[in-house]
Amino acid sequence: MSATIEVQPSGKVLIKCFNPATGEPLRELEGHSSEAVDQTLERLRSAAASYNYSPVRERVKLVRRFRKALVANLDGLIESICSETGKKRPEALLEVFAAFEVMRYQANIAPRTLRSRYRSSGILIHKRGYVAFRPHGVAAIISPWNYPFVLVVSPLVEALLAGNTVAVKPSEFTSLTGLLVKQVFDEATGRPELFELAVGAADVGQQLVTSPLIDVVCFTGSTRVGQIIAQVCAKTLKPLILELGGKDAMIILEDANLKRAAKSAVWGGFTQAGQVCMAVERVYVMASVYDEFLQLLREETRKLTTGNKPEDAIGPITVDFQYDKVQAHINDAKAKGAVVETFGEPDGQHMPPTLLTDVDHTMTVMTDETFGPELAVMPVESEEEAIRKANDSLYGLSTYIFASNERRGRRMARRLSSGMVVINDVIIQYGLASLPFGGFRFSGLGKVHGKEGLLGFSQQQSVVGTRFPMPMELWWFDLAHKTYGLLRKFMKWWYR
């Protein structure tokens, strides 16, 4: 059972939180009313009036204090993540690692990245121009349930370092970790006015996105909701970062280390029960090694256990409706002729890992994001066909290539239509905090992480001053007609 949301006759929203692994009730929370959200945004707006102009080094100090306090609360954070998502401890640890890595990297590069920079004046040598990075004002961050810590903390610190005050809406299914993060932030920084939570469901998210008090939106979640938010933001041209779904492909070439490829497919497909945006969902294997790879894949999958015991490999599906979606994809594939191999028995919200073969691109399991512990495997005759099939998707988050020759992988990357390409590994791209993270097409717009992550929460302002005054203004009204001939000649010579 996952969290439930009840609107009471009084209009109050009650969120009942459960541990999806055990069904055990965790806590009841009251969602924010529309008036409470408005008041929160007013407070953030007034805090922004000074924070927007704060020196970057002060923001860096704030983020470092916050990080140290989170490190001191590591066990409590892991406990919170595990209890409301059902994740296994190593999975929660990895999530926290990714956030710490982003916090550390972004705090280190912020002073350099956000420093104003002079640019060439071109032919206008008497002028001096520079680009300055200004915060948007107040940022809204809307997060999903599959990473309740990193997808709150990473965009939060990027927005804060860029000088914005921040409203965060955690997923209604995983608000408890967000509350803990807020508590740690307030205690560590003594600046509760810089970051506030808006707890609730879609209506609270909509209120943030439509509010004139919000200047930039960073949304992580499904493509469907991302499209709704993009339409809302288009009306006021509100800047928007979208980190959306994926249908990530893995390509296994004939010279790949098949054992590593099989282990990678199993971890990349089944970690967090497949509830990872960049999970491996489609596997294209060269026909010459298809049988051998499949054999290894079955062996590796057979080793996995699903359940509540700490030593089990795979935890539950976090939210009820997701279970039905995964099952519907598997049923659709089966009805269209796929061979379905299930490694274990379903139990409550625990779904056993499933391999699908004899699949094709008419099946939803090959086209729509499944977000569950299922892997679809298909043989391909050539590198060319592998690239074509991997690119045959509305999504474009990541592609994984397994090849013994890394140069061949890098060459293929040029032709792969996805925001990220990883050679001989899976999901690791999220841990390289210096690299921009984000997808092509239905997988999103804009980037988080890297200097691009800081710049996404900034506006670029061009400032022009004077290096030395000119004795006359050549194209102002009083001279324009007189200098026309001379300027025309000069242009023909200079730009020849």
* Residues acting as catalytic residues: 243, 277
Q: What is the DSSP string of 423-482?
A: ES-SSGGGG-TTS-B--EETTEES-BSHHHHHHHTEEEEEEEEESS--SS-TTSTTTHHH
Q: Where are the beta strands (DSSP E) in 287-410?
A: 339-342, 354-357, 374-380, 395-396, 398-402
Chain positions 172 to 191 lying near ligand NAD, rule: CB under 6 A, are 172
Q: Does 211 bind ligand NAD (CB under 6 A)?
A: no
Distance in Å, CB of 210 to ligand NAD, minimum = 9
Residue 179 neighbours by CB distance under 10 Å: 15
Q: Residue 282 is encoded by which pair of tokens? A: 């489609």
- Report the residue from 94, 103, 139, 244 that binds ligand NAD according to the rule CB under 6 A: 244
CB of 176 to ligand NAD, least distance (A): 14
Where is 362: in which H helix or E strand?
none
* Among residues 80, 85, 113, 146, the one that binds ligand NAD under rule CB under 6 A: 146
Of 215 and 243, which CB lies nearer to ligand NAD in the complex structure? 243
220 or 458, CB closer to ligand NAD? 220
CB of 349 closer than 8 Å to CB of 21? yes
Residue 14 corresponds to which tokens in the numbers above? 């009650």
Instruction: Supply the DSSP symbol for 42.
Output: H
DSSP H or E segment with residue 301: helix 287-302
**220 near ligand NAD, judged by CB under 6 A:** yes
Q: Cα(405)–Cα(423) distance, rounded to whole angstroms?
A: 10
Least distance to ligand NAD, CB of residue 310, Å: 25
Give 62's strand partners.
none
- Inter-residue contact 4 to 29 (CB < 8 Å): no
Report the nearest approach of ligand NAD to the CB of residue 361 (Å).
20
Pick between residue 257 and residue 364 the one whose CB is nearest to ligand NAD: 364
Contact status: 209 vs ligand NAD (CB under 6 A): yes
Q: Which of 1, 69, 201, 328 binds ligand NAD (CB under 6 A)?
A: 201
Least separation in angstroms between residue 244's CB and ligand NAD is 5
* 3-state secondary structure at position 245: coil
Instruction: Choose the stretch contacting ligand NAD; rule: CB under 6 A; options: 59-67, 199-207, 250-258, 471-479.
Output: 199-207
- State phi, psi for 287 to the nearest 5 degrees: -55, -35
Identify which range of 45-53, 100-108, 169-177, 355-363 contacts ligand NAD by CB under 6 A. 169-177
Selected binder of ligand NAD within 100, 284, 343, 371 (CB under 6 A)? 371
> CA–CA distance from 483 to each of 127, 203, 331, 480, 487 (Å)?
20, 61, 77, 5, 6
205 binds ligand NAD per the rule CB under 6 A: yes
Contact status: 113 vs ligand NAD (CB under 6 A) = no
Nearer to ligand NAD, 86 or 307 (CB): 86
Q: Is 394 in the site for ligand NAD (CB under 6 A)?
A: no
The DSSP secondary-structure symbol of 193 reads: G
Does 246 engage in binding with ligand NAD (CB under 6 A)?
Answer: yes
Residue nearest to ligand NAD (CB): 205
- Which CB, 205 or 353, lies closer to ligand NAD? 205
* 142 makes contact with ligand NAD (CB under 6 A): yes
Q: Per rule CB under 6 A, is residue 315 in the interface with ligand NAD?
A: no
Nearest-approach distance from CB 223 to ligand NAD, in angstroms: 6
Name the DSSP class of 87: -
> 407 phi and psi, to 5 degrees?
-65, -35
Which one of 95, 101, 369, 383 is in contact with ligand NAD (CB under 6 A)?
369
Q: Is 450 in the site for ligand NAD (CB under 6 A)?
A: no
Name the residue nearer to ligand NAD (CB basis): 14 or 132.
14
Q: Distances in Å between the alpha carbon of 221 and those of 60, 76, 269?
A: 28, 25, 19
Alpha-carbon distances, residue 195 vs 43, 54, 71, 480 (angstroms): 10, 15, 19, 53
The pairing of strands 398-402 and 248-252 is parallel
Size of the site for ligand NAD (CB under 6 A): 29
> Interface with ligand NAD by CB under 6 A: which residues?
142-147, 151, 169, 171-172, 201-202, 205-206, 209, 220-222, 225, 228-229, 243-246, 277, 369, 371, 444
